[in-house]
Amino acid sequence: MKLATMFQVGLPYLVLTGGLLVVMIGVAIKRTHAVAAVLTIATLIATTLSHIVAFSALGDGAVQITPLFKVDGVAYLFNILFLLAALVVAFFGSEFLSRRVRFKEEFYLLLLCATLGSLVLPAAVHFASLILGVEIVGISLYAMIAYPEKARPPLEAGLKYLVLSGVGSTALLFGMAMIYAGSGSMEFANSLPSDGSIEGQYFYLIGNAFFWSGIAFKLSLVPFHIWTPDVYHGAPSIVTGFLATVSKGAVFAVVFRYAIEGNVLDSGNVQFALSIIACVSMVIGNLLALLQTNLKRLLAYSSIAHMGYLLIALLLVESNSALGYETVILYLVGYFLMTLAAFGVISVLSMNQEQELDSIDSVSGLLWRQPIAGAVLIISAISLAGIPLTIGFFAKYYLFYAGIDGGMWTLIGALVVGSAIGIYYYLRIVFTAIKRPSDDAEAMTGLPWTGLGILAFLGLCMLAFGIYPTNLIDLIQNVVQASGF
């Protein structure tokens, strides 16, 4: 492995880290919001673009950088996805900060840190890099969640997340330790118990139990979902957007890698446990959202369900890892768009408010009071419900296809039930948004145009991919195949 290619392949990480340092120093020298924002956005764009170089260097197959990282096309796809999401967050964030917060600049540092962490994960093939990435994301998120000063909810959310995710991380770590004890290696590739000793098997299983519990917490799967609504609710909705998309997506990327490389699902017990977790997550998540009147909490619960859906793709890796990867990537693309759009709408609407407008009534008649935001909210709700003309439909279609391909009929049943319940509350959002606005409801003016513009862009993407997803699907398929799955 020539050092040059290694540098080229690792270029995105270097760029991002470099940008991070620059911003940090910049902030240290002189606090200027505009500069920080521009630098951050530039960094993110640069990192995204650097993938072009990286791709060309990568060619087919994968490049192993130290035992810790293995970079391949799929990882890059995830990276780009996360970076774009971070970009959107940065844009919204700049608006949000400039209007709502006194000390703005550190936010960008945290954001870049978190992004870096999330970029680490898709390429991680080693427990060390895994915990590294997870914790980088996690710790920067604690701060981001509790970022606004003086307000109580963000702080409460931050603390809750800190304590609980601390517990989660310890479970994760403990699990790793046990697995290591069982298998004798912390690389995913050979993390199966090497010597046939009984205790080895036991260590391995116990380890997996802890490990997956930790992961389930990060992905907010039942029964580790319970923190989700409070944190989503308390955090500034733009941070919530980041938390809901990037952090989850990154964790998913890494456990996917682990499941494939480490053949975890060979052990029927783990598969069984995961299937159960998936089923209950789909059903309970949706049930919890059913009559929820707070938009952010509602989306939190629905995210529980969506993560449950995604487990179907994870469970497929045994039989058909390529399809599994396609599914998870396309689904994440869709899910990122919808979720960012939804939280984006909330944050854009709340720009000029003291409290965030997160109750469902606050969007009543939105389509008529603020057409763009309203339309985008409706589109994303429809997309989350998985109804055609939006990418959400293709995401759901992929799930069905994957489920049938894996013959997981129970999961499909749960998926049907879940989506059935889901339609109800997503549609409630739509109905509220198209209501005839009450007379005292004033038309919303003075909203930032950048924000609305990004919203419109997200909405258009959802529609475009919902009508002609062919190119996206082909791209994903090619990359996945090129990466040798």
Partner 1 sequence: MHLLWAIPALPLAGFLILFLTEGRLPRSVVSSIGAGSVGLAALLTGYVAWQFTSSDSSEFVSSSWTWMIVGEFNVSFRLWVDALSLVMVSVITGVGFLIHWYATGYMSEEEGYSRFFCYMNLFVFAMLILVMGDNLLLLFLGWEGVGLCSYLLIGFFHKVPEFGYAARKAFVVTRVGDTFLIIALFLIFKQVGSLQIQEGLTFARESMPDPATINTIICLLLLGGAVGKSAQVPLQTWLPDAMAGPTPVSALIHAATMVTAGVYLIARMQDFFMLSQTAMLCVAAVGLVTLFIASFTALVQSDIKRVLAYSTMSQIGYMFFALGVGAWSAGLFHLMTHAFFKALLFLASGSVILAMHHEQNMFKMGGLWKKLPIPFIAMLVGSAALVALPLTSGFFSKDAILLTAWKNSPYAILFWTVAVIAAFLTSLYTVRMMVLTFFGKPQSEMHELKKESLWHPSRIRTVVPFGLLAVLSIAGGWMGFEFTSDLFGDKGVHAEFHFDPIALLTLGIPFAGVVVGYFLFASDLVDRRKIIKNRLSDLLSKFWHSGWGFDWLYDTLVVKPFRFIAQTRTNRNDIVDLFFKLIKFLASLFHHILSMFQTGHVRWYAFTMVGGLLLVFLAVVWI
Partner 2 sequence: MSVMLLILLLLGAGVVAWVSERVNTTLPNWIALITFVATTLWVLVIWFNGPDTDGLYANLNREWIPRFGIDLHLRVDALSLMLIGLTTFLGIVAVVSSWTETKTRHGFFQFNILWVMAGVIGVFSAFDLFLFFFFWEVMLIPMYFLIAIWGHEDKEYASMKFFLFTQISGLLMLVAIVALVWINYNISGVLTFDYDVLKEANLDIATARLLMLGFFIAFITKLPSVPVHTWLPDAHTQAPTAGSVILAGILLKTGAYGIIRFVVPMFNEASKEFWVWGMSLGVISILYGGYLAYSQTDFKRLVAYSSIAHMGFILVGVYSFSKLGTQGAIITMIAHGFSTAALFMMAGAIQERLHTREMSKMGGLWVRAPRMGAVTMFFVVASVGMPGLGNFIGEFLVLIGAFQKSVVLTVFAAIGIVVAAVYGLSLMQRSFQGVPNPDVPKMHDFAFREMSVMVLLMIALVWVGIYPQSLLQMTAPLLSELLRPTL
Partner 3 sequence: MTTALSIPLEHVFFLAIILFLIGAFGVLIRRNIIFMLLSLEIMMNACGLAFVAAGARWAEPDGQIMFMFILALAAAEVAVALGLVVQLARRFETLDIDRAEELNG
CA diameter of the chain: 74
Tell which one of 1, 14, 18, 424 touches partner 2 (CB under 8 A).
424
Q: Which amino acid is at 260?
A: I
224 binds partner 1 (CB under 8 A): yes
293 is a contact residue toward partner 2 (CB under 8 A): no
- Binders of partner 2 in range 442-471 (CB under 8 A): 468-470
CB of 185 to partner 3, least distance (A): 8
- Give the x-and-dash track for 170-199 against partner 1 (CB under 8 A): -x----------------------------
CA–CA separation, 193 and 92 (whole Å): 47
| Cβ proximity to partner 2, 238 vs 382, nearer residue | 382
If one asks whether residue 209 binds partner 1 (CB under 8 A), the answer comes out as yes
Binding to partner 1 by residue 208, rule CB under 8 A? Answer: yes
Angle at 83 between CA 81 and CA 86, to 5 degrees: 110
Dihedral (Cα; 351, 352, 355, 358), 10-degree rounding = -50
Residue type, 315: L
User: Does 272 interact with partner 1 (rule: CB under 8 A)?
Assistant: yes
What does residue 63 show for φ and ψ, rounded to 5 degrees?
Answer: -120, 125
CA distances to 111, 179, 280 from 276, rounded to whole Å, are 34, 22, 6
Under rule CB under 8 A, which residues in 280-299 are in contact with partner 1? 284, 287-288, 290-291
Q: Can you name the residues that pair with 63 across neighbouring β-strands? A: 71
* Position 431 contacts partner 2 (CB under 8 A): yes
Residue 383: CB atoms within 10 A of its CB come to: 31
CB nearer partner 1, residue 96 or residue 224: 224
Distance CA 291, CA 151 (A): 27
> Would you give the binding string for partner 2 spanning residues 379-398, x where CB under 8 A is met?
---x--x-xxx---x---x-
405 binds partner 2 per the rule CB under 8 A:
yes
Residues 442, 370: Cα–Cα separation, whole Å: 10
- Write the secondary structure of 410-460 as one string of H (helix), E (strand) and C (coil): HHHHHHHHHHHHHHHHHHHHHHHHHCCCCCCCCCCCCCCHHHHHHHHHHHH
CB nearer partner 1, residue 106 or residue 358: 358
Query: Using CB distances below 5 to 8 A depending on partner kind, what does residue 477 bind out of partner 1, partner 3, partner 2, none?
Result: partner 2
Between residues 139 and 444, which has the closer beta carbon with respect to partner 3? 139
Two structure tokens written together for 1: 């492995």
Stretch of residues binding partner 1 (CB under 8 A), selected from 81-89, 160-168, 435-443, 445-453: 160-168
291 binds partner 2 (CB under 8 A): no
Contacts to partner 2 by CB under 8 A: 382, 385, 387-389, 393, 397, 400-401, 404-405, 412, 416, 419-420, 423-424, 427-428, 430-431, 434, 436, 468-470, 473-474, 477
